Structure 1
């Protein structure tokens, strides 16, 4: 059995959730936590219930199973931090997956090895699971330090989560600090992150994820980024909750046996390469993304479709 606890977030996407639980079942984690948000309306009650029942039907191994459900919808910004809070009341570290983040089997063992290896290294916030541009990362090592955080399947320690600042409550103070500009590897990345952070502060974005990057950067921490891809996002459909900024799919790679860096140091060049390819379109696309974040809800779909049509299709 797999000894690292897994936190699995589900909602109402049964087909996607089934693919992910089937991937989890391949390693048979000893401890599995499932947290499901509640329905937003009466029409979603059936979908929520069917999704949970379908997922539970696939847990065919003996494990310590914990399930958290909600009668009412909390939304991402509240639900996921709440789930993490309860998870880390019991666990020192764990793996996080959502119902649209499909991992390879190797992903779990990559996380296991590095969660143990770097558990006391406080310059590391979390361990990413994706790399969609591995062919551009010319490293002989299996992973590197990055300032780009990834929430599509990652490993995390309690010590990191305890620093989480979901409200970005000290953003103003941080903005005026002497170290602020050093957190970003270029002006585009700064503009990109600030667009999301300001949208969260202004109540325009119901998000928990961009606060992960904020928390890490303000504490001078980094993310471990794998050279190889081990997670794909399968949630690009009408029920997906995230902004479609890119088509993120790549064949899985096997990173084993891992080649550990002799010295784990930050590589700015790799981040610049990765971000340039992740956000193709340069400043025009960044400006459109910021517009999207601050637009009224009725205009968001059309703007998002335009971004995808111009920069992805």
Structure 2
């Protein structure tokens, strides 16, 4: 067991890394410098192209590409630079297709996901440990618990799939369904019920499912979440935050709320990896994040209040 913090933060990663960039050279250079320190032996870089109606975006995209070309360590490099804009859903999902065509497993970072340096050791270790354990489908780097820990080990398991810095295997991605073609609206409610056992959470995810399937949300990550839900998969999560999302701002695609509690969360480093005795999901960990994001407890409170009012009104009729 390695308990030397210096060794972990100077760890040279064994895994391939996919770096997804677009039009933010200022965040790109911060994440790239973390990758540079980890010195992955194989680096895949995918960049979406500029949107023709956005002033100065071509220049910003070119600046981001220039940054990631400053590779000064021995490394096999593969690039996928788009000339035209594919959008979030198609650009990222196709880049992941490309990455997992070449790699059995690996680490994925977007240009606004700043990793702690020990994140790379964490991913290397868990990719190897759970390589053939099909219960485990995802390794998350972020911790959105805002300081809450689940157990006294380095990691815990959950059902949620967080993608602000993550790692996984080809065995998972091969079943990815960008358009949710194999899943049907009249079936998903019952399946989600087995995971969450909460009608309000079920309705939230059913609505997300419908909107993604209808093409109303230009994203790729909800589809991965559904893939893992519907296959009974577990995610490994760190009990400290190993990824800080530095991209909450007006020019972001999705993270535009400057006041989000998840913006620029402080990074922590791990000094060792310890494991829970039981490989079971921490349901309350998932619920606490969903409750914060969708105010589920408030919805339940309002629902119960209205129900009580209705019962009193009904009794008053007789």
TM-score normalised by length of structure 1: 0.84
CA apart distance, 1:192? 2.7
- Give the aligned partner of residue 52 of structure 2: 41
Q: Is 1:16 equivalent to 2:27 in the alignment?
A: yes
Q: Distance in 1 between matches of 2:162 and 2:86?
A: 23
Alpha-carbon contact 1:124-1:223 (below 8 Å) kept: yes
- Give the aligned partner of residue 261 of structure 2: 247
Residues 238/23 of structure 1: CA separation in 2 closer, same or farther (3 Å cut):
same
Q: Distance in 2 between matches of 1:175 and 1:25?
A: 45
- Bigger Rg, which one: 2
CA apart distance, 1:214? 0.4
Which residue among 88, 92, 97 is the counterpart of 1:76?
Answer: 88
Alpha-carbon contact 1:174-1:218 (below 8 Å) kept: no
What's the secondary structure of 2:228's corresponding residue? helix
Q: Is 1:101 equivalent to 2:113 in the alignment?
A: yes
CA apart distance, 1:32? 0.4
RMSD: 2.1
Alpha-carbon contact 1:174-1:180 (below 8 Å) kept: no
Q: Distance in 1 between matches of 2:192 and 2:148?
A: 29
What's the secondary structure of 1:54's corresponding residue? helix
- Give the aligned partner of residue 300 of structure 1: none
Residues 279/130 of structure 1: CA separation in 2 closer, same or farther (3 Å cut):
farther
Q: Superposed, which structure 2 residues align to 1:268-307 within 5 Å?
A: 268-280=283-295, 282=297
Alpha-carbon contact 1:8-1:97 (below 8 Å) kept: yes
Unaligned runs of 5+ in 1: 285-313
Unaligned runs of 5+ in 2: 1-11, 300-318
Q: Distance in 1 between matches of 2:90 and 2:255?
A: 18
Range with bigger deviation, 69-78 or 189-198: 189-198
What's the secondary structure of 2:118's corresponding residue? helix
User: How many matched pairs?
Assistant: 284
Range with bigger deviation, 153-162 or 167-176: 167-176
Q: Superposed, which structure 2 residues align to 1:1-313 within 5 Å?
A: 1-41=12-52, 43=55, 44-57=57-70, 59-133=71-145, 135-172=147-184, 175=187, 179-244=191-256, 246-248=260-262, 249-280=264-295, 282=297
Q: Distance in 1 between matches of 2:108 and 2:85?
A: 20
Residues 58-115 of structure 1 show CA distances to partners (whole Å, capped at 9, x for unaligned) of x221210111111111111111111111111111100010011000101111111001
CA apart distance, 1:251? 2.0
